[in-house]
Amino acid sequence: MNTRQMLDRLDAAPLGLSTLWEGQSATVDFTVTDADMRNFAELSGDRNPLHVDDAFARSKGFQGAVVYGALLVAKVSQLIGMKLPGRDSVWVTLSMEFRKPLFVDQPAQVEGTIVGLSPSTGMIELKLTLRAADKLLAKGRAEILIVEP
């Protein structure tokens, strides 16, 4: 494990089941840049022009290149892995409904709120919302299993 990996791991919140409650929430603020889009196109192999070509996206009625839905899911991953519930967890279910597009350089926020907690199994259910300028862009649910030592 290198120093960066060690620091990243230390940054992940260690929230155990006993410190979680229904209604608890956390957020991640982010802005997707051109560089993020290029990196994601490379990583995923998805070079759909809707995501990488502003002119093409505008021809389809959008104001510019549409941020990859999976890149938004990556921010959900950050929320779950680093903040709520953080380190001692494994993600087992995700459903997302994308309602409006997010565009490059547009500030956004993903929020997770615990809406279900099963003490018998260690499973928590998160309600997810993704907003930009107070508009709901996407919503969803995730189930996360708390894995305590």
And the tokens for 69? Answer: 């839905």
The distance of closest approach from Cβ of residue 120 to other proteins in the complex, given in angstroms and rounded to an integer, is 4
Provide the 8-state DSSP code for 67.
P
Q: Where are the beta strands (DSSP E) in 4-146?
A: 25-31, 89-98, 107-118, 123-132, 135-146
Please report whether residue 39 would count as binding other proteins according to CB under 8 A: no
Q: Which of residues 79-98 bind other proteins (CB under 8 A)?
A: 92
Taking CB under 8 A as the criterion, the residue among 51, 122, 130, 142 binding other proteins is 122
Q: Which is nearer to other proteins, 122 or 140 (CB)?
A: 122
Q: Min. distance of Cβ 149 from other proteins in angstroms?
A: 15
> What is the C-alpha to C-alpha distance for residues 88 and 85, in angstroms, rounded to an integer?
7
